[in-house]
Structure 1
Amino acid sequence: MNILVVYAHPEPRSLNGSLKDFMVRHLERAGHRVQVSDLYAMNWKASLDANDSLERHGGERFYPSLESKHAFENDLQSDDIVREQEKLRWADAVILQFPLWWFSMPAILKGWVERVYAYGLAYGVGEHSDARWGERYGEGRFAGKRAMLVVTTGGWESHYSARGINGPIDDLLFPIQHGILYYPGFDVLPPFVVYRTSRVDEAKYAELSATLGRRLDDLWNTAPIAFRPQNSGAYAIPALTLRDDLAPDQTGFAAHLEEAAELATRP
């Protein structure tokens, strides 16, 4: 299989750097083909702006989505964007690896998403009508591919538990897993999260790498997170609100996860 690792940490000798190197070795030894986008080493430009297009579409006002659409459709994107899009098309699975900084991904990785996820590639595709609202949330250009987060954080696991002060880790990662990965069609696997990074000694690292290795070995067998598909009937269109009879007592992120009974009846 072809696997793309998008890696965002500025220090090669960090725990993240070691885990990234471990993943590449482990996957290649298993016979997979691996590419790594090391964003800091690449000096990746994080800001989305008018320079991302070789030829402006509009006038003086910069309209990001329309400029992105024009550049994507007319082969006018900057070369760095095109190279990353080619990697995405090549990949059967994508791993985003990063430290959790201020409750989200590092700015450089967010900038990778903003610039690489062009209009016409990751969004703005498909029919928009009273029956369907685009190819997204379970459909899209990346349908059939898998994705997983490898995340490190200095906080304790209890800090990110259901009643922890930082909020549940699944809630913190929801905008990334549901919005950035599931939106354009990826099957999103449960994340691999490392807590209390400052306390990782040699024994703990050996344990972590062994567990991560097992997750990588099972990359194509692990059940993805059961997000509700948008165009399967669960949501009213075009309002895109969940039907009243589904998860009637739930609101927020958890309402967008299918329940066991629904999964059992899905075609």
Structure 2
Amino acid sequence: MAQKTALIVYAHQSPSSFNAAARDVAVQALTKQGYKVLVSDLYAMKFKASATAEDIKGDLQNPEHFVYNNEMMVAWKDGRLSDDIAEEQHKVEQADLIIFQYPLYWFTVPAIMKGWIDRVLTQGFAFSMQNMYDNGIFKNKRAMLSFTTGGTESMYRDDSLHGDINVLLWPLQNGVLRFCGFQVLAPQIFWCPAYTPPEGRAAMLDGWRERLGGVLEEKPLSFAPSEYFDLSFQGGFCLRPEVKEKLASEPYGITTAHHLGKPLPPNNQTKPKQN
């Protein structure tokens, strides 16, 4: 059996942080299973967060009106991306599994990790209008979010202060990972480790280690199949009428965002769908 490769995209500045401990557990657990483990320590690398024309070697196609996505696609085809982007894209190409390890900042990833997403997952390399979602370029790869929160689990429910964690996760898990074709695994959420006793933090890490033992056998999260939609400008990329009619009697919407005016399917972005 060919050796599997895992990439950990890591964003925390402190080597004594819980995120660093979670990263180390992942490296150890996956290496023990025979994985080749790559780590992109974004702060240590001083990875550039802003997406600019500096990401392209050579002349621009249209210097009078710089459109990042268009220019990056051409530069990727020509092999003219900056060295740091090309190196990260090579890691992604190798990876069977990508883990994003970070602290939750303002309900999303830190700026340096958002910069990695913006600059590395470029058009052509990570997606195209023909290759997205179910037909995405990375449909044979798996990806997952692993992050810490400042609040307790009870604060991220549909009837609590911060609201439903499933709604919070949708833009990253569907709008980034699944959009690029990844099979998205349930997130690993470390609830409020900063205010958890040492034995509680140790238990969190033990649970993470145990989970990683069978992570590639896990069932991915459930998303709306692309075939449900009329994928044309004429059809507006909307749900096909016959599908909408078929789903009319279902008690829940399809996904967190494709709710169809119904209650959200429970735990749609945190647990695989139960058959």
Superposed pair shares fold, TM > 0.5: yes
Identity %: 37
Alignment of 1:38-117 (within 5 A): 38-55=41-58, 56-117=60-121
Displacement after TM superposition at 1:72 (Å) = 0.6
Change (3 A) 1:246 1:75: farther
Question: Any idea what the Cα deviations from partners look like across 1:232-260, whole Å, max 9, x if unmatched?
Answer: 2x11222122242365464873437999x
Question: Any idea what the Cα deviations from partners look like across 1:94-152, whole Å, max 9, x if unmatched?
Answer: 001111111111010000010001110112252xxxxxxxx211222111111111010
Secondary structure (helix, strand or coil) at the match of 2:19 reads helix
| Contact 1:139–1:183, Cα closer than 8 Å, also in 2 | no
Under a length normalisation based on structure 2, what TM-score does the superposition of the two structures give? 0.86
| Contact 1:228–1:258, Cα closer than 8 Å, also in 2 | no
Change (3 A) 1:62 1:193: same
Question: Any idea what the Cα deviations from partners look like across 1:165-186, whole Å, max 9, x if unmatched?
Answer: 2111121111111111101111
- 1:129 matched to which residue of 2? none
1:32 aligns with 2:35: yes
Question: Any idea what the Cα deviations from partners look like across 1:10-65, whole Å, max 9, x if unmatched?
Answer: 11111111111111111111211100001000000000010100022212221111
Runs (5+) with no aligned partner, structure 1: 127-134
Alignment of 1:134-213 (within 5 A): 135-213=131-209
Displacement after TM superposition at 1:164 (Å) = 1.7
Under a length normalisation based on structure 1, what TM-score does the superposition of the two structures give? 0.88
- 1:121 matched to which residue of 2? 125
Secondary structure (helix, strand or coil) at the match of 1:96 reads strand
Change (3 A) 1:242 1:81: same
Q: When the two structures are aligned, how many residues end up with a matched partner?
A: 253
Change (3 A) 1:125 1:251: closer
Change (3 A) 1:264 1:196: closer
Change (3 A) 1:264 1:101: closer
Change (3 A) 1:23 1:252: closer
Secondary structure (helix, strand or coil) at the match of 1:236 reads coil
| Contact 1:8–1:99, Cα closer than 8 Å, also in 2 | yes
1:241 aligns with 2:241: no
